[in-house]
Structure 1
Amino acid sequence: MRRNMSVRVSAVVTAAMAAVLIPLAGTSYAASCSGTGCDNKGPVGYGCDADAVTKKTVSDGIRKAELRWSAKCAAGWVRGSDPVGKDDYWAHYAYIEKHSTESGAPLLKSLSVAIPDGGSDWSNMLGGSNYYYRVCQKDAGTLEVWCSGYW
């Protein structure tokens, strides 16, 4: 009787472990959002960074803002970077804009990220292939703004 009980407990534990571990064995980082469903979601957390390419870049001569695009997610984001690490008294920002027309009007949504000194960071995504996107960079001290063309 005791032997049957321990066999049953062992079988239950084995089945429970298999149910937990087998899905992890085949885990892939497939995109878990698409198009406008990616709006304001993180590109890394949703698996959209794996196939990302840079479509547009703008720079102030030191820092740069890149429009990163994932075809599998049909979404883009801005990555701001400062390779030099020049320590300024004011902040610098990179942002992505989503427009309904190539002329820039109207602006539908915009997301920004602070550009860290000596590093890089990225914004959340804006999605949908039937829109026009551009990236900009802003110097909060001088209020200068550099923007890419539309893509």
Structure 2
Amino acid sequence: MTTTSLPPSLIATLPGEHYTDPEVFALEQERIFETMWFCVARAGELDKPGSFRTYQVGRESVLVSRARDGSVKAFLNICRHRGAKLCTEESGEVKRAFQCPYHAWTYGLDGKLVAAPNLTSMPDIDRTAYGLVKVHVREWLGYVWVCLAENPPSFEEDVIGEVVSRLG
């Protein structure tokens, strides 16, 4: 088999298996989508307190909602009790809280654990320690951005800076 060189105007790309290999995909999820700021929504989709949407970011389901104070909050979409998916619908609205369909652990719009069956008989359970796992979130120019990294990169440099440098 002979190979031919590409004409100068045709830019070489990655080998085909890079686009379909599950290991490459897993690395992309881990090193790109789970470490960088990711735009998930238009802020208007979360128009009032209790409105929520769920998004797949990397390998995680993320719950994004509007809190009572008008701010946008983001959490991993898992109950802290047994790890069940908290919100199974893609979007919706709750009145006061999110309740796990598995064992009814209930979380406020701010992510704090507010109720659970027999919680009063479990004095060793610290409600603040068992709240939903927070995800870094920013609302900017009508869009909602999240970052799964424990220590996210600078939003000002990585997002705002790039937008300004590309668009002026």
TM-score tier after normalising by the smaller chain length:
0.3 to 0.5
Normalization by structure 1: what TM-score?
A: 0.33
More strand per residue: 1 or 2?
A: 1
Normalization by structure 2: what TM-score?
A: 0.31
Larger Rg: 1
